[in-house]
Amino acid sequence: MTAPVLFLSTVFKPDIWLSSLKSLSPGLAIQVWPDADVTPEAVRYAVVWRPPHGVLRTFPNLACVFSLGAGVDAIVSDPDYPRHVPLSRMIDPTLTQAMTEYVVLHVLYNHRRQRDFEALQRLRKWRALNAPRAEQVRVGIMGLGVLGTDAAQKLVPLGYQLSGWSMTRKHVPGVRSFCGQPELPAFLAQTDILVCLLPLTPETQGILNRSVLSQLPKGASLINAARGAHMVPEDVLALLDEGLLSGATLDVFPEEPLPPESQFWTHPKVTLTPHAAAATDPRAISRHIVETIAAMERGGAPGNLVDLSKGY
């Protein structure tokens, strides 16, 4: 059998994705890597999540690669990625909404000292803790793209002082824009709650390190919902122990699943979730894939394109 669509993931089981694609386009012929009967020449579209490096280049007639997620670091880091093939990533309102819920939840959690209240609850201690008013709290979002911008826009009406750091200057009402390396120190110096929503690229890898985080005001908190490799784990743990960081909400880790021996599991100042901030909705991505394939077969171009020269 030959099929123009190939499902290729080292992490996701194909069933749910295949049934979702088939329900929208019953005639779509799909095969699953690494089935032995896949004919490389027949593959025109690849639907991927963390594909093994070197595999995509073995399909000479690829017309488009679809990422099942918003972050494409595991794809663009493949030195053999066929760079003439467009890469379309996940941009979808359901995913954006889910991430915004996560960010709003944990900004409030850190601002309102919920972690401290839970510690007191465990001790059966009835004690009110003070928290500043939202107007006094400065939230800084690293990465003012699709996800960061939406989260910022939803936090503004709650009264927080919002700022964002990006590559290029942004004009989002109520959100102060900082951009580029030269403006990073000023951005950090005025941030009480730092939210990382950057893509993982060679420039942003390890950016949540001692030297950068030490530029935050003492007692700032960190929310990382982007990628684990943004963080230098030992630096974050040390800064929590030293009190420079008062708390951290972490959704992503350099090694996932987080190993049982990791100190993050039990650190009293850490709240963690298992890379669950914003999952891709199979129906939403399937709609995007099916519609894009239909458009491309009529001669159209794919949307949600990654700029391969920038890596995001």
Residues that bind ligand OXD (CB under 6 A): 69-71, 90, 280
Spell out the residues 6+ positions from residue 131 whose beta carbon is closer than 8 angstroms to its own.
Answer: 111, 112, 113
Q: Please, which of residues 158-177 interact with ligand NDP by CB under 6 A? A: 165-168
Which one, 71 or 140, has the nearer CB to ligand OXD? Answer: 71
CB closer to ligand OXD, 90 vs 258: 90
Least CB distance to ligand NDP at residue 110 (A): 17
CA angle 225, 104, 209 (to 5 degrees): 35
- Say whether 227 is catalytic: yes
Name residue 175's beta-bridge partners. 162, 172
Selected binder of ligand NDP within 204, 246, 271, 292 (CB under 6 A): 204
Q: Which of 57, 275, 283, 287 is catalytic?
A: 275
Closest residue to ligand NDP using C-beta atoms: 145
Of the candidates 161, 232, 223, 217, the residue with the CA atom closest to the CA atom of residue 198 = 223
Closest CA to 139 of 168, 115, 170, 107: 107
- What is the rounded distance in angstroms from the CA atom of residue 7 to the CA atom of residue 57? 15
Q: How far is the CB of 2 from ligand NDP (least distance, A)?
A: 33
Any catalytic annotation for residue 112? no
Kindly give the pairing relationship between strand 87-88 and strand 175-179.
unpaired
Closest-CA residue to 12 (of 67, 62, 77, 59) = 67
Separation CA 176–CA 22 (nearest Å): 45
Is residue 68 within 8 Å of residue 90, measured between CB atoms?
yes
DSSP tag of 170: -
Q: Which of 78, 116, 183, 203 binds ligand NDP (CB under 6 A)?
A: 203
User: In angstroms, what is the minimal distance from the CB of 147 to ligand OXD?
Assistant: 9
Q: Which residue, 201 or 280, has its beta carbon nearer to ligand OXD? A: 280
Phi, psi for 215 (deg, rounded to 5): -85, -5
Check residue 31 for interaction with ligand NDP (CB under 6 A): no
Q: Which one, 235 or 251, has the nearer CB to ligand NDP? A: 251
> Shortest gap between Cβ of 210 and ligand OXD (angstroms)?
25
Comparing CB distances to ligand OXD, the nearer of 43 and 252 is: 252
Site string for ligand NDP, 69-98 (x = CB under 6 A): xxx---------------------------
- Which one of ligand NDP, ligand OXD, none is in contact with 55 (Cβ closer than 5 to 8 A by kind)? none
Query: Strand, coil or helix: what is 56?
Result: helix
Burial letters 286-301, b for 16+ CB under 10 A, else e: bbbbbebbeebeeeee
Structure tokens at 258: 């987080």
Which position among 115, 227, 230, 288 bears the catalytic label? 227
- Annotated active-site positions, please? 227, 275
**Which residues would be at the binding site for ligand NDP (CB under 6 A)?**
69-71, 99, 143-148, 165-168, 197-201, 203-204, 225-227, 251-252, 275, 277-278, 312
